[in-house]
Amino acid sequence: MVFSYSSKKIFVIALILIFLGIAFFWYAVKPVGGAALATTVDIPSGAGFFKITGILSDAKLVHNRPFFWALVIGKGAARRIKAGEYEFSGKLSPAEIINKLIRGERKYYNVLLPEDINAREIAQRLLSFKLLDEKEFMKLLTDQNFISSLGITAESLEGYLYPDTYRLDRSMTTREIIRLLANSFWKEITPDIRKRAEEMGMTIHQLLTFASIIGKESGVSSEKPLISAVFHNRIRLGMKLQSDPTAIYGLPDDVKIVLSRHLKSDNPYNTYRIKGLPPGPIANPGIDSIKAALYPAKVNYLYFVAKNDGTHYFSTDLASHTQAILKYRNNK
């Protein structure tokens, strides 16, 4: 049988296409590296197709760009890749890598924000995971347009960033993270809580302010109704709250010990100088502190002092309180 020149040409082209098809298939399913290859890749928001390819190539996850491009186009993935931080193993094939990017299987961080943590502490904790822009976070705390968009009427978001464990990823913007925390807060403010606050003669803002002081005074849930009772009793009698955490609110984070000069400062939150509640929360209270503010224990205590074990000794009069101070400070 004699093959014409054109037949030979077609035959050669067919062989080339078959070879390329086999090579392409092998490329698509073959792992990009060994078990030792493990890398984290950050795909920024708005990154184009070629930039993403370059990022993956630099991470040694793409060894043949034309084949990778063909695979992405074949999967219709060029506009479906989701931004974020991803963890990849060398055991993954290019097809599996692309599928992971399409599904948005990002690296997530479970971040615990403890009860009664303040806004600056929240910023530092999120910053340790590289989850926010600190300057933007601090600016948004007092951005009135942004605050209003969250359904909040306040000068600051302090108190409205609900403490909980959050699953976050680096594709989230600072605004999105703040909105998530604020939405969690509103889920906790049930109709029963609103009704009880009205019965107590408190707005939501006053409730959070009260709760934040309780939470900063004690981390022991069982004590919080007692702390609440002290402050409610003092307000009822026209006494100043005299809460140490209010005196150092707004001071640098390294101030851990309350000194006499702090108690004498003109800080508008300093309840040693002002009567009643300060202008706003000094932290972001959890539900225990909020409920304690609404349901104080039925006791006549007016004073308390730390017992150096995380709990407090409560007194109904100044003489007993003075004796307790001497006792527990001497023990310390």
Question: Could you read off the pLDDT of 46-82 as tens digits, one per residue?
Answer: 888 888 889 888 888 888 888 888 888 888 887 888 8
pLDDT (0 to 100) of residue 260: 66
Residues of the chain with CATH 3.30.1490.480: 18-103
| Mean pLDDT of each 10-residue bin along the chain, 332 residues long | 61 69 70 78 84 88 85 82 85 86 88 94 94 94 96 95 94 94 96 96 96 93 95 95 87 64 76 92 96 96 88 92 85 56
d(CA 114, CA 259) in angstroms, rounded, equals 26
pLDDT of residue 62: 86
CATH architecture assigned to 18-103: 2-Layer Sandwich (3.30)
**One-letter identity of residue 189:** I
**Which pLDDT score, from 0 to 100, does residue 131 have?**
92
Q: What is the DSSP letter of 81?
A: P
CA–CA distance, 303 with 322 (Å, rounded to integer):
10
Phi/psi for 7 (5° steps) reads: -65, -40
> How much is the pLDDT for 32?
81
Contact 43, 84 (CB under 8 A): yes
What pLDDT score was predicted for residue 262? 65
Cα–Cα dist 143/302, whole Å = 38
Contacts 24+ apart (CB under 8 A), 298-303: 298/229, 299/226, 299/229, 300/233, 301/226, 301/229, 301/230, 301/233, 302/230, 302/233, 302/234, 302/237, 302/239, 303/230
